Structures are given as C-alpha cells and as structure tokens.
Amino acid sequence: MKTLPQNLILDVYQSRPKTTLRNIFIVTTIIILILWSLSVINYPGITESSIQISRNILKAFVNPSWDLIFSLEVDSIPFLMFETLGIAFLGTLLGSILSLPFAFLSSKNIVGKFAYLGTIVITIIRSFPFFLLALMFVRVSGPGPLTGVLTIGVLSIGMISKMYVEVIEDIDPGILQALDASGASLFQKIRFGIIPQLTANFISVMIYRFEINVKNATVLGIVGAGGIGFTLLTAMSAFRWQDAAAALWGIVVVVIFVEFFSTKIRKKLITGE
C-alpha cells in the first residue's frame, strides 16, 4: 500500500496555508510607497564647490581649533559641553518630576479605563515639535541655557511618562498580595510593595533619557537655546570649519562618555544594587 501515504501527503500539501498572495501584496505596496517617495528627492549632484567644501570639512576634523578645545573660557568647548550636560541634567530631572502625575494617571492598573485619556495627552505632548517648544520658551527666558532646561523638561515628559507607564503597569501584584496577607496598611503597601519595584526602574529610565537629552541639548543650541549647538551653528555659518570641528569633537567625546557610563550604571541597577 505504498500509494496511500503518497496520496495522503499530496492532500496535506494541497491544503497548505497559501501565504504567497498576501506576501506579494505586502511587498508590492512597499515598493510602490518607496518609488512614490523617491519622486520628491531632487538630487543636486556633486558640484565643484561641494567637493571643495567636503575636503575643507574633512581637513578641519583632523585639525580642529585646539585653542577652543583646551581653554576654559566662557566660550570654550569644555565649558560649553558642561553647560550642555547641565541643560540635559536639569532638564531630565524636571521632566522626570513633571512626568510622575502624567504617568500614574495613564496606567491601567491605577486608574483603569481612564488611562486611555492620559495616553492621548502624552501622545500629544510627544508629537509637539520640540524646536517649536524651544522657540516658545525663548519668549520666556531668552536665548540661553535656561530655555534649554525648560524645553527639555517639557519635551521629556512625553517619553519619560510613556516609559514610566510601562514600569508601573509591570508592577508585580504578587508582592502586594503578600503584603496584604501579612496585614499591611495602604501606606505600608505603597512604601514597601510598590516603591522598591519602581525606584530602580524609574532611575534607569531617567538615565536612559539623560543620554538622549544630551544629544537633544546639543541640537537645541542650533535653535538658540544655549549649549554647544549655537557655537556649532555660528561657526559653520561663518565657514569657520575648524571651530565647528572642535565643537563636533566636543560633542563626540562627551556623548560617548555619557553613553558608556549610562550603560554601565543601568546594567548595575538592573542586575546589582
């Protein structure tokens, strides 16, 4: 009866789920979208001047303005990087504090169905173009680092709240049940059941956001809110490539430092202390 298994196998083969049509559809849609998007790009081509400028920029990278890098004056790179770090630090702190109410009010395990409203508010805040926010704050505190702090503070609410919500919704209710069973009061439950679970993760979120905010703070300067971005913009606009390169080197060094320590500390938070 060798033919019986063969028929059986052929039957199973015919009844296989046929996903080819769906796959072709998806791939075609993507291809159409890509081709459509290509139409809007006008390639300016590589001109004489662009080669010249690229060469100048590359040369400047190898030989930046050393005097700006090694001085400690108000407009030197180290000072500006410290300022940028400060903007990121205070801004992240501000954002973390402001996010707390938003986060708690958007967590399903705290407010139930109303969490949806909170999420919408957070999405709106997140979608607010951040340099618009900067321009608005400039009307309050002028073009300077304080504006940067305020902008980053409000901007961070979006991302930090979202991450806080994830942490909050991740709370293990088992610990609360155990505390309940041992007769703990509401305050004790919050203090010993919820807060320990939250702090390590909240701090991890803050550090992660700080890392991103350092990069944001550099950009803010370009929009006029203090920090190294402003120097970068002015230097480039005046074709002072070596000053610009110095600024870029400053950014690279600081960001890599921050990233390195941030990853180390966050790993320790999750696995160690």
Partner 1 sequence: MIIFEHVSKTYNNGVRALNDVSLKINQGEFVAIIGLSGAGKSTLIKLVNKMIELTEGTLIVNDKKVKDLKGKTLRNFRREIGMVFQSFNLINRTSVINNVLSARAADMGFFRTLLGLYSKEDKLKALESLHKVGILEKAFIRADQLSGGQQQRVALARTLSQNPSIILADEPVASLDPITANQIMKDFQKINSDENITILVNMHHVDLALKYAHRVIGINNGVIIYDGPSNKISEDLLKKIYGRELTDEDIMFKDN
Partner 2 sequence: MKILCSKIINIINTLKTKSIQNRTLVLSDGTLVTKPKSYTLLYTLILLFIFLYFWNLIVSAFFQRFGFQFFISRIPNFFTILNLMVSDINFSYFERVIDPLIITIQISLLGTFIGTLLALPIAFLASQNLIKNSKIPIVIKFILSIIRTFPTLVYALIFSFIFGFGTFIGLLATIIFTFGIITKMMYEVIETVDLGPFVAIESTGANKFTSFRTSIIPQVSGRFYSIILYNFEINLRASAILGFVGAGGIGLILNDQMSLKEYGNVSMIVLSLLLVVIIVENISRYVRGKLT
Residue ranges in contact with partner 2 by CB under 8 A: 30, 33-34, 36-44, 50, 53-54, 57, 82-83, 85-87, 89-90, 93, 123-124, 126-132, 135-137, 139-142, 144-146, 149, 215-216, 218-219, 222-223, 232-233, 236, 239, 248, 251-252, 255-256, 259, 273
Which of 2, 13, 38, 47 contacts partner 1 by CB under 8 A?
13
* Rounded Cα–Cα distance for residues 47 and 272 (Å): 56
- Residue in the structure block whose two tokens are 């039957």: 11
Q: Encoding tokens for residue 236?
A: 């480039």
The token duo for 272 is 């160690």
Cβ nearer to partner 1, comparing 11 with 273: 11
Binding to partner 1, residues 68-97 (CB under 8 A): none
Instruction: Note whether 227 and 214 are within 8 A (CB).
Output: no
Q: Quick one: 10 or 264, whose CB is closer to partner 2?
A: 264
Q: Which one, 38 or 181, has the nearer CB to partner 2?
A: 38
Q: Which residues contact 159 (CB under 8 A, 6 or more apart)?
A: 126, 209, 212
Nearer Cβ to partner 1 (12/72): 12
* Nearest distance from C-beta of residue 90 to partner 2, angstroms: 6
- In whole angstroms, the minimum distance from the beta carbon of 6 to partner 1 comes to 9
Region binding partner 1 by CB under 8 A among candidate stretches 2-10, 142-150, 206-214, 215-223: 2-10
Among 12, 21, 34, 62, binds partner 1 (CB under 8 A): 12
Among 1, 2, 5, 62, binds partner 1 (CB under 8 A): 5
Which CA distances in Å does 245 have to 102, 194, 209, 252, 264?
Answer: 40, 48, 26, 10, 29
Distance from C-alpha of 39 to C-alpha of 32, rounded to nearest angstrom: 11
Please identify which residue in 2, 3, 7, 16 interacts with partner 1, judged by CB under 8 A: 16
Rounded Cα–Cα distance for residues 255 and 227 (Å): 14
Distance in angstroms (rounded) separating the CA atoms of residues 50 and 236 = 15
Tokens of 127: 């979608």
Whether the CB-CB separation of 95 and 152 falls below 8 Å is answered with yes
Q: Which residue, 17 or 112, is less far from partner 1 as judged by CB?
A: 17
Query: With binding defined as CB under 8 A, does residue 8 bind partner 1?
Result: yes
What is d(CA 213, CA 273) in angstroms, rounded to the nearest whole number? Answer: 25
Residue with tokens 């080197």: 249
Q: Which does 12 bind (CB under 5 to 8 A by kind): partner 2, partner 1, none?
A: partner 1
User: Contact positions toward partner 1, by CB under 8 A?
Assistant: 5, 8-10, 12-13, 16-17
